[in-house]
Structures are given as C-alpha cells and as structure tokens.
C-alpha cells in the first residue's frame, strides 16, 4: 500500500509537509515516497493528502 511520484515532480515541496507518516523525502532527481511508511493516508484522511495537494498530479497509486 503506497503511492509513488513520477518524473514530472518539480520539487515544489507542497506534498511532504502534508504527509502524516513523514513518508515523503527529497531525492536527487525528484521527491520520493518511502513505501514502508506510506499508508495511503488510511486512518488520517479519506484521500491521500499528497495527491490532493500536488499541483502537477504526478503522484499515483502503486498498482497492486
């Protein structure tokens, strides 16, 4: 259960502060999600907070 950030990320830093699990971190090329920490916001919000705030829609669900 996780989301991932694709190459369109522009490092705007809107998503990371919204994550209740501090799962989002800045990597060299783009922001990334630690799949061990991401719960897709279950227990905190009805929708993933990072997806809600990302202006580029570059955060997606990891397909099972």
Using CB under 6 A as the criterion, which residues of the chain lie in contact with ligand SF4 when the complex forms? 3, 5, 9-15, 18-21, 23-24, 31, 33, 38-41, 48-50, 53-54, 56, 58-59
CB of 17 to ligand SF4, least distance (A): 10
Nearest distance from residue 1's CB to ligand SF4, in Å?
8
- Give φ, ψ of 13 to 5 degrees: 70, 20
Count the alpha carbons within 13 Å of 16 in the hemisphere toward its beta carbon.
Answer: 13
Q: What is the DSSP letter of 62?
A: P
Instruction: For the CB of residue 60, give the shortest distance to ligand SF4 in the complex, in Å.
Output: 10
């Amino acid at each position: 259960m996780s989301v991932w950030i694709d190459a369109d990320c522009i490092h705007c830093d809107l998503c990371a502060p919204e994550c209740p699990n501090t799962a989002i971190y800045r990597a060299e090329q783009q922001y990334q999600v630690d799949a061990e920490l991401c719960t897709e916001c279950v227990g905190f919000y009805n929708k993933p907070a990072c997806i809600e705030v990302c202006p580029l829609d570059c955060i997606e669900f990891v397909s099972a």
